[in-house]
């Protein structure tokens, strides 16, 4: 049997099966603080979902009330009526019909949208845009650590709840840094039976007790995360894969000694062609994301009330569709928040309009909100990080970007 193994600092975890499906990556850390709110103890969870490839924010949360929207987005524009009507979030914005779970959370005031957002990056390279999104620095190529790892490192030490865990062939940049992590990478090979794994544990016990302990830990994590309902099923697709990844992550995070902070990355959002409007490629992807959010809610159970989920992407897409009924690399887009800890039921937007003179470089939704302000607001109110720490350690060189207030209830 072959196993994938990634180590960081002094810890090692191995596994022989895959939790990573459809481009998902999972991570968690060993130390979290205890929070007190009035007489009760709060046990917050934070999940960061990165959509790699650049999400079309205008197609996901559509400004149907903007008189220029329909002409710009053409055949893929959402409409508030008709056979594929998009549900209205308010009098101006409509949600893609492939996201009924998010719509329900929004109605329950457990989900919110921040529109016309972007990082500090203004070019249109996926590689550099993802670098800025995950590193938390204003420009690409600055560091080899991520803002979420630095946020965890800045937390006051509390109760040890789990080994640090990252799932993926490599640790995503957002997770790299001095906060201890261990990795679990999927292997695309036929998997061994349970008795083979146990024979390996026995062998390692005689030759390398530390490795035997790590293998046993990995197998236990696997049993918790996967279970019978998480086994790979024939005929799966990207949407089903997203749900499976979230389901396994939620199982781990729901455990009393499980991780409290996690990150997932889903690939495939680069919709240059056949984006599809209410049905099609983007609809399938959004259905998967919607299902993943529902899996977090159901899997976390009572912990959902103290959970915040941040969904972000490296940049947006053009306001005008192209000749293949897709969209090209753009600038402004959306960020989504979900969870029982979120003060939801709102679309937060300093709307720039889609008039030709208002478009960024005559092609993109102009960003009016810095994504770092959104993330800072969640980290401050949900995890208790100070504005000084956020500006100096988590998002360096960002003192002028103030945390957005009122995102957490």
DSSP output for 9-48: TTEEEEESS----TT--EEE-SEE--EEETTEEE--EEEE
Beta bridge partners of 310: 48, 337
pTM for this structure? 0.84
| Helix, strand, coil content of the chain in percent (nearest 5) | 35, 20, 45
Give the domains, in start order, of the chain with CATH numbers.
4-193+237-394 (3.40.720)
Sequence-distant (≥ 6) Cβ neighbours of residue 124 within 8 angstroms: 315, 328, 329, 330, 331
Q: How far apart are CA 298 and CA 400, in angstroms?
A: 38
* Angstrom distances, CA of residue 89 to CA of 42, 49, 107, 352: 30, 22, 8, 18
Q: How far apart are CA 292 and CA 261, in angstroms?
A: 16
Reading the chain (409 residues) residue by residue, the pLDDT tens digits are 333 333 333 333 333 333 333 344 455 445 555 554 444 577 889 999 999 999 999 999 999 999 999 999 999 999 988 878 999 999 999 999 999 999 999 999 999 999 999 999 999 999 999 999 999 999 998 788 999 989 988 887 665 444 445 655 566 788 788 887 655 443 443 344 455 555 555 555 666 676 656 656 555 555 555 554 444 444 458 899 889 888 888 888 888 877 788 888 889 999 999 998 888 899 999 999 999 999 999 999 999 999 999 999 999 999 999 999 999 999 999 999 999 999 999 999 999 999 999 999 999 999 999 999 999 999 999 999 999 999 999 999 999 999 999 999 9
Question: In 87-237, which ranges are continuous DSSP H helix?
Answer: 100-107, 126-135, 147-154, 194-207, 209-225
Q: Give yes or no for a contact between 264 and 52, defined as CB atoms under 8 angstroms apart.
A: no
């Amino acid at each position: 049997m072959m196993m994938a193994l990634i180590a960081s600092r002094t810890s090692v975890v191995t596994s022989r099966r895959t939790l990573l499906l459809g481009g998902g990556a999972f991570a968690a850390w060993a130390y979290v603080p205890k929070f007190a709110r009035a007489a009760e103890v709060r046990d917050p969870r934070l999940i960061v979902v990165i959509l790699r490839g650049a999400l079309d924010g205008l197609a996901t949360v559509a400004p149907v009330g903007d008189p220029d929207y329909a002409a710009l987005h053409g055949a893929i524009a959402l409409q508030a009526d008709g056979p594929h009507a998009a549900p209205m979030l308010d009098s101006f914005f409509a949600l893609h019909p492939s996201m009924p779970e998010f719509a329900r959370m929004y109605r329950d005031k457990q989900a919110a949208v921040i529109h016309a957002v972007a990082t500090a990056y203004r070019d249109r390279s996926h590689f550099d845009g993802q670098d800025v999104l995950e590193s938390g620095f204003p420009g690409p190529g600055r560091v080899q650590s991520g803002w979420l790892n630095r946020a965890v490192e800045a937390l006051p030490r509390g109760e040890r709840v789990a080994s640090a865990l990252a799932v993926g062939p490599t640790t995503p940049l957002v997770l790299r840094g001095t906060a201890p992590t261990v990795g679990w990478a999927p292997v695309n090979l036929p998997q061994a039976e349970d008795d083979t794994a146990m024979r390996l544990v026995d062998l390692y016990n005689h030759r390398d007790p530390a490795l035997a302990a790590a293998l046993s830990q990995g197998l236990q994590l696997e049993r918790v995360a996967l279970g019978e309902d998480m086994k790979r099923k024939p005929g799966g697709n990207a949407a089903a894969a997203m749900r499976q990844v979230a389901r396994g992550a939620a199982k781990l995070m729901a455990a009393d000694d499980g991780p409290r902070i996690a990150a997932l990355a889903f690939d495939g959002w680069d919709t240059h062609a056949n984006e599809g409007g209410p049905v099609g490629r983007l609809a399938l992807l959004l259905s998967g994301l919607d299902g993943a959010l529902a899996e977090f809610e159901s899997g976390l159970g009572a912990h959902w009330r103290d959970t915040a989920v941040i969904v972000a992407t490296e940049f947006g897409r053009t306001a005008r569709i192209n000749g293949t009924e897709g969209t090209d690399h753009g600038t402004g887009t959306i960020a989504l928040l979900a969870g029982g800890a979120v003060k939801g039921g709102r679309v937060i937007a300093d709307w720039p309009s889609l008039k030709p003179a208002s478009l960024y470089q005559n092609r993109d939704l102009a960003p009016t909100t810095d994504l770092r302000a959104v993330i800072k607001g969640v980290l401050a109110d949900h995890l208790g990080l100070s504005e000084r720490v956020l500006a100096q350690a988590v998002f360096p060189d960002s003192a002028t970007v103030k945390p957005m207030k009122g995102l957490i209830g």
